[in-house]
Amino acid sequence: MPSCRPLLAAALLTLAPPSATAQCHHFTREHVDLLSIRWNASEAALSLMASDDDHGGTLYASNQCVVVCPESMKFILPDGTPFGSAGDPLWILPQSPYAGTPYIGVSAETIASGSFHDPMTITLKHLDGPGHFILWQATGLGSLEIRMDTRDGITDLDTITPGVGAHEHYNWGFTTSGVYRLTFQAGGRRLGHTTNTLSPETPFTFHILPLRPFEVWTATNWPCECNLKVIGTAADPDGDLAPNAFEYGVGSNPRQPDSPSQLTVSLVTTQGATHSLLSFAHPLSATDAVCEVVASPSLSPPQWTLLTNTIATTVTGDLRHVTLQDPARVDQSQRSFYQLRVRLE
């Protein structure tokens, strides 16, 4: 009997199962100071948290909230802007209140006067997402002041300087839809000190609609998670040796350890010739994942051949069941290994 072994969709990572997020709040139309600098004097520590100004200043840690930008905030750039070519799209969370859209602020309001030199700093450290991020202000004189722009890389120049005790708003622009995780770090120099105090590097999640199917799957399984070692395509948070991309492509549970093998092998004899039949299931909702079966006579070194002879396809619920036949006869072939591959498009 030929052996069955899946090919995992990306490099393997073995991690402990992630801890559950206490809550996940979606900012869809609130006034929120997403980057609110907080100072804990007893621990001498700075941090960045989201402050829901529409609901009494309720605080959320970065892994407890998501900012949602609706598809209605997709704009087509005219000629002559610094944000791209004419006809390019740009999703914008505006610096002024706009109906049905989050109103995103930056704040050092809780920093007491006389505790830190003025101003504070907030620096963009990392970007994970399908496009670029631009942060700018439109002034009353009609000029545009770009403060962060990942199109030319990320440097210390991607910094804003909120005043101690102050609050301000910017335009947040994204060049394509999808899930973005922007990592920021706050800093400031305390009076009487010679070095800066820095917050931890803190990621915040943005859902720029519409999301792609894999992004929807990720957001469903880990609504507010920012850690790429949990939600990345190559991550294996449940430790069953099947990375997330593979679990997505075959419809298995990425939060529950189970057998990574999703390919079944059987034999069929027709007119005296015996062939291998390879069967697997693929979720209909995973439209951006492609499942492929390959065969090889050896694993050292492997000589993979893509199998394309589909002989049956059926649908039950959200699963498409596919059966392929290896054209090589079992009694005449040295093939003994099969793999199921998942490729994200």
What's the CA gap between 165 and 169, in Å, rounded?
A: 14
Q: Residue 33's pLDDT is what?
A: 97
Tokens linked to 67: 């900012």
pTM for this prediction = 0.87
Q: Which two tokens stand for residue 228?
A: 């790429």
- Tens-level pLDDT at each residue, the chain (345 residues): 333 333 333 322 222 333 344 579 999 999 999 999 999 999 999 999 999 999 999 999 999 999 999 999 999 999 999 999 999 999 999 999 999 999 999 999 999 999 999 999 999 999 999 999 999 999 877 789 999 999 999 999 999 999 999 999 999 999 999 999 999 999 999 999 999 999 999 999 999 999 999 999 999 999 999 898 999 999 999 999 999 999 999 999 999 998 666 899 999 998 889 999 999 999 999 999 999 999 998 888 999 999 999 999 999 999 999 999 999 888 776 667 999 999 998
Pairing of strands 31-40, 305-307: unpaired
* Cα(71)–Cα(230) distance, integer angstroms: 27
Q: 3-14+260-344 — its CATH code? A: 2.60.40.10
Which pLDDT value is given to residue 335?
67
**What is residue 31's predicted lDDT score, i.e. its pLDDT?**
97
Coil vs helix vs strand at 315: strand
The whole-number pLDDT of residue 4 equals 34
Strand partners, 197: 188
CA distance 195 to 304: 58
What does the alpha-carbon distance between residue 10 and residue 242 come to, in Å, rounded to a whole number? 9
- Sequence-distant (≥ 6) Cβ neighbours of residue 316 within 8 angstroms: none
**What is the DSSP-derived secondary structure letter of residue 212?**
P
Burial of 161 (0-12, 13-18, 19+ CB in 10 A): middle
